[in-house]
C-alpha cells in the first residue's frame, strides 16, 4: 500500500478529525495547580457537582470536604459540619454528585471491619446526612442514574461481588431514599461466570446498567425504573387467599345446597317413572286432571273438554320431544316437574288431587326413601344466610392484606435480565466510562489497552495504546472531545477521542485514584496516592 499524502504516516493521525479540519484550535493544557489545605490525610476521591460550583474530596481518616469554585482552603466545608462525629467507619473512597440536583451528594467508605456506610447529604443543611445505609462490606464504587432518582453501589464479597440499588421513593407525598428489594445483581445468583465487578455505570438513557469484570468481559443488564411486581403473581396471591364475603343478616340469598348423589339418583328414577306413565296414559296431563275419573272409558271421548283434546293433540304430535326428555334432563322437563309438584290453587276440586296421587304411584313410593335420607343429614348441610368470618391472623390485620404482604416480603429479589455479555480483553478490566453524548463506551484494564465501543452496535471502533501499565481510571470531558486515562503509570494521559492522538501527559508520583472533569469547561481534577509531604489534589486547565 502506497501512502499518497504528503503527511508523514502516523497511526494516530486522522486528517478529517483534526481540530483544524473542524475549525478548532489546537488543544493545549497548562501546568497543573496543587490544592493544599483542609485535608489531613491523603485524598482518595474527587467529584464535581452538576453545576460546576462545588467540588467534593474524600480522604482517609473519614474526611469529606466540599469546596467552592474559588478553590481556597478557607472555602472548604467538612461533612458533617459543627464538629460532629463522622458517620463513616473508614476512609471515604467513593463520592458522586446527583446529575440533576447540585445539592445532593453521596459518599461511601471502605477499609473498616465494621462494614461500609453509604451517606446521602444535602449540602444546604450539612449538619447531618439525610439518610444512611449500612452494607456488609466495603464500597467499591457508586454510580448515579441519569434521572437522579436511582443509584447503584458495588460491594465486594468473598465469592461474588454484589450490587445494591437504591431509589427515591414517594410515600404519602414525601420523598424518601430506600433500598430496592425487588431487584438484585451479583452475589451467589450471578449467572455471567465472573466473580468480580470492578466498575459499574448507567448508560446515558438509564435503560441499561453496564459493568466490567475480571474475566475481561463487558456486561449490560436491563434496569427497570419501576418496582417489579408482576400482575401474574398478584393474581396467584389473590386466588390462593380469597377474601371473605360477609352478607347482611336476613333472608338467605345464597344458592341452595347441592343435592347428594343419592338424591340425584332418586330424582332421576322418579322422572323416568313419570315419563313412562306419561307415555302409557297420555290423559295424565294437567288438562286431563279436570276430567272426572268415575265416568266410563267410552264417555271420556264425549265429555272431554277442548283443552284436554288440545293436550292430547300436542302430546301425540310430539313423541320425539318426549322421547328426548327421557334421555337428558332439559329445562322444560324440570319446569314441568316443578309445576306438577306445586300444590293445587284454590278453587280446584279434590278429585283432581286424588287422581294426581293415583297416577303417580311410583313417586309416592319414592318419597319415604327421600324423607329418610334427608332426616339423617346433619343440620349444617343447609346453606347458611351468611358465611362464617375466618379468624384473624396473629398480627390483627385482615387476611387479604396481611397474608399478601407476608408473601411479597418473603419473595426473593429478581436478578436483572442480562442484555449483553462479551469478552473483549484478555486481562481483567478495571474501569469504564460513557461518552456524555452517548456515542461511545470506553473500557480499560490490566493489559494497558483502552478500547472504545460504539453504544449502538457494541462494536469496538478504536483502541488506544498510550499506557504501559494497568488503567484504573477513565473519564470523558464534558464535550466528549478528550479522554483522560490514569492508573499505575507515572503520568495521566489525555487523548483526543476523534483523532486518537495524545494531547498531554500529566506527571504523577503514585497510583491515580480519581479523575473528574468539570461539567462545563475542560478542567480536570485528579488525585493520586504517593509519598507526599502534605495531602494535596490537583486541577489542570485547558488553555486553548
The three cell numbers of residue 496 are 483526543
What pLDDT score does 348 carry? 44
Half-sphere exposure of 457 (CA within 13 A, CB side): 3
What pLDDT score does 539 carry? 93
Nearest Cα to Cα of residue 96 among 162, 49, 135: 49
What pLDDT score does 118 carry? 95
Percent of the chain surpassing pLDDT 70: 61
17-56 core/surface letters (b: 16 or more CB in 10 A; e: else) = ebbeeeeeeebebeebeebeebbeebbbbbbbbbebebbb
- Tell me phi and psi for residue 46, to 5 degrees: -135, 150
What pLDDT score does 70 carry? 73
Query: How many other C-beta atoms are found inside a 10 Å radius of the C-beta of residue 105?
Result: 26
Provide the pLDDT confidence category of residue 227 given band limits of 50, 70 and 90: confident
User: Quick one: average pLDDT of 108-134?
Assistant: 89
CB 359 within 8 A of CB 284: yes
Provide the pLDDT confidence category of residue 267 given band limits of 50, 70 and 90: low
- Tell me phi and psi for residue 64, to 5 degrees: -145, 115
The more confident residue out of 83 and 466 is 466
What pLDDT score does 10 carry? 60
Return the top range by mean pLDDT from 196-210, 216-230, 288-302. 196-210
User: Quick one: average pLDDT of 305-324?
Assistant: 47
User: Quick one: average pLDDT of 269-288?
Assistant: 47
Provide the pLDDT confidence category of residue 371 given band limits of 50, 70 and 90: very low
**Omega before 169 within 30 of 0, i.e. cis:** no
150-182 core/surface letters (b: 16 or more CB in 10 A; e: else) = bbbbbbbbeebbbbbbbbbeeeeeeeebeebee
User: Quick one: average pLDDT of 373-400?
Assistant: 48
DSSP per-residue string spanning 296-337: -HHHHHHH--HHHHHHHHHHHH-HHHHHHHHHS--HHHHHHH
Asked whether residue 320 carries a pLDDT value surpassing 90, the answer given is no
| Positions of E strands within 19-62 | 33-36, 43-48, 54-59
Residue 212 CA to residue 511 CA, distance in Å, equals 20
Asked whether residue 476 carries a pLDDT value surpassing 90, the answer given is yes
What pLDDT score does 46 carry? 95
Return the top range by mean pLDDT from 101-110, 224-233, 300-309, 405-414. 101-110
Provide the pLDDT confidence category of residue 283 given band limits of 50, 70 and 90: very low
CA distances from 291 to 177, 202, 221, 525 (A): 90, 94, 89, 115
Return the top range by mean pLDDT from 209-223, 331-345, 351-365, 376-390. 209-223
User: Quick one: average pLDDT of 51-71?
Assistant: 88
- State the chain's mean pLDDT as an integer: 74
Asked whether residue 462 carries a pLDDT value surpassing 80, the answer given is yes
User: Quick one: average pLDDT of 230-259?
Assistant: 45
Q: Is 268 helix (H, G, I), strand (E, B) or coil?
A: helix
**Cα torsion 198, 196, 111, 223: sign:** positive
494 DSSP β-pair partners: 484, 504
Provide the pLDDT confidence category of residue 145 given band limits of 50, 70 and 90: very high
**Residue-wise pLDDT tens digits, 321-354:** 444 444 444 455 455 555 554 544 444 444 444 4
The more confident residue out of 328 and 509 is 509
CA distances from 355 to 288, 294, 302, 308 (A): 10, 11, 20, 15
User: Quick one: average pLDDT of 150-172?
Assistant: 90
Asked whether residue 381 carries a pLDDT value surpassing 80, the answer given is no
CB 281 within 8 A of CB 274: no
The more confident residue out of 469 and 340 is 469
User: Quick one: average pLDDT of 377-388?
Assistant: 46
Provide the pLDDT confidence category of residue 147 given band limits of 50, 70 and 90: very high
User: Quick one: average pLDDT of 364-375?
Assistant: 45
**Chain mean position to CA 401:** 21
User: Quick one: average pLDDT of 152-163?
Assistant: 87
Alpha helices in 387-503 (DSSP H): 399-410
The more confident residue out of 269 and 75 is 75
Return the top range by mean pLDDT from 8-22, 83-97, 201-215, 527-541. 201-215
The more confident residue out of 273 and 210 is 210
Amino acid at each position: 500500500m502506497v501512502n499518497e499524502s504528503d503527511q508523514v504516516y502516523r497511526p494516530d493521525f486522522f486528517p478529517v478529525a483534526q481540530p483544524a479540519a473542524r475549525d478548532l484550535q489546537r488543544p493545549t493544557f497548562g501546568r497543573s495547580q496543587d490544592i493544599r489545605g483542609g485535608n489531613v490525610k491523603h485524598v482518595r476521591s474527587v467529584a464535581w457537582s452538576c453545576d460546576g460550583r462545588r467540588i467534593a474530596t474524600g480522604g482517609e481518616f473519614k474526611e469529606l470536604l466540599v469546596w467552592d469554585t474559588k478553590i481556597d482552603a478557607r472555602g472548604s466545608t467538612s461533612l458533617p459540619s459543627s464538629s460532629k462525629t463522622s458517620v463513616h467507619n473508614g476512609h471515604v473512597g467513593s463520592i458522586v454528585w446527583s446529575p440533576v440536583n447540585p445539592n445532593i451528594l453521596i459518599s461511601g467508605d471502605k477499609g473498616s471491619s465494621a462494614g461500609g456506610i453509604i451517606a446521602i447529604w444535602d449540602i444546604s443543611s450539612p449538619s447531618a446526612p439525610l439518610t444512611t445505609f449500612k452494607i456488609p462490606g466495603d464500597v467499591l464504587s457508586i454510580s448515579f442514574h441519569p434521572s437522579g432518582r436511582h443509584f447503584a453501589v458495588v460491594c465486594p464479597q468473598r465469592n461474588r461481588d454484589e450490587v445494591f440499588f437504591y431509589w427515591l421513593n414517594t410515600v404519602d407525598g414525601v420523598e424518601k431514599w430506600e433500598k430496592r428489594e425487588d431487584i438484585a445483581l451479583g452475589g451467589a445468583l450471578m449467572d455471567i461466570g465472573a466473580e468480580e465487578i470492578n466498575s459499574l455505570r448507567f448508560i446515558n438513557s438509564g435503560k441499561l446498567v453496564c459493568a466490567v469484570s475480571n474475566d475481561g468481559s463487558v456486561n449490560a443488564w436491563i434496569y427497570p425504573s419501576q418496582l417489579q411486581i408482576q400482575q401474574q403473581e398478584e393474581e396467584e396471591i389473590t386466588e390462593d387467599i380469597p377474601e371473605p364475603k360477609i352478607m347482611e343478616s336476613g333472608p338467605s340469598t345464597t344458592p341452595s345446597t347441592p343435592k347428594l348423589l343419592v338424591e340425584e339418583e332418586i330424582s332421576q328414577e322418579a322422572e323416568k317413572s313419570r315419563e313412562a306413565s306419561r307415555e302409557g296414559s297420555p290423559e295424565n296431563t294437567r288438562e286431563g286432571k279436570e276430567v272426572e275419573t268415575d265416568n266410563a272409558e267410552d264417555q271420556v271421548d264425549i265429555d272431554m273438554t277442548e283443552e284436554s283434546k288440545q293436550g292430547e293433540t300436542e302430546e301425540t304430535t310430539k313423541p320425539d320431544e318426549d322421547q328426548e326428555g327421557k334421555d337428558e334432563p332439559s329445562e322444560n322437563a324440570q319446569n314441568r316437574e316443578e309445576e306438577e309438584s306445586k300444590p293445587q290453587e284454590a278453587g280446584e276440586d279434590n278429585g283432581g288431587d286424588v287422581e294426581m296421587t293415583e297416577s303417580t304411584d311410583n313417586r309416592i313410593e319414592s318419597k319415604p326413601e327421600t324423607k329418610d335420607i334427608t332426616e339423617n343429614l346433619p343440620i349444617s348441610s343447609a346453606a347458611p344466610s351468611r358465611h362464617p368470618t375466618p379468624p384473624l391472623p396473629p398480627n390483627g390485620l385482615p387476611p387479604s392484606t396481611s397474608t399478601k404482604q407476608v408473601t411479597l416480603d418473603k419473595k426473593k429479589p429478581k436478578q436483572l435480565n442480562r442484555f449483553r455479555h462479551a469478552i473483549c480483553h484478555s486481562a481483567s478490566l478495571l474501569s469504564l466510562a460513557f461518552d456524555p453524548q452517548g456515542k461511545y463506551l470506553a473500557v480499560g484494564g490490566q493489559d494497558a489497552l483502552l478500547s472504545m465501543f460504539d453504544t449502538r452496535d457494541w462494536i469496538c471502533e478504536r483502541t488506544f495504546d498510550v499506557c504501559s501499565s494497568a488503567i484504573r481510571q477513565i473519564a470523558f470531558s464534558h464535550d466528549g472531545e478528550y479522554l483522560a486515562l490514569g492508573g499505575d503509570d507515572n503520568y495521566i494521559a489525555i487523548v483526543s477521542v476523534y483523532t486518537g492522538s495524545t494531547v498531554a501527559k500529566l506527571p504523577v508520583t503514585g497510583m491515580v485514584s480519581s479523575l473528574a472533569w468539570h461539567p462545563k469547561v475542560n478542567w480536570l481534577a485528579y488525585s493520586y496516592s504517593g509519598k507526599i509531604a502534605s495531602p494535596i489534589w490537583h486541577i489542570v486547565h485547558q488553555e486553548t
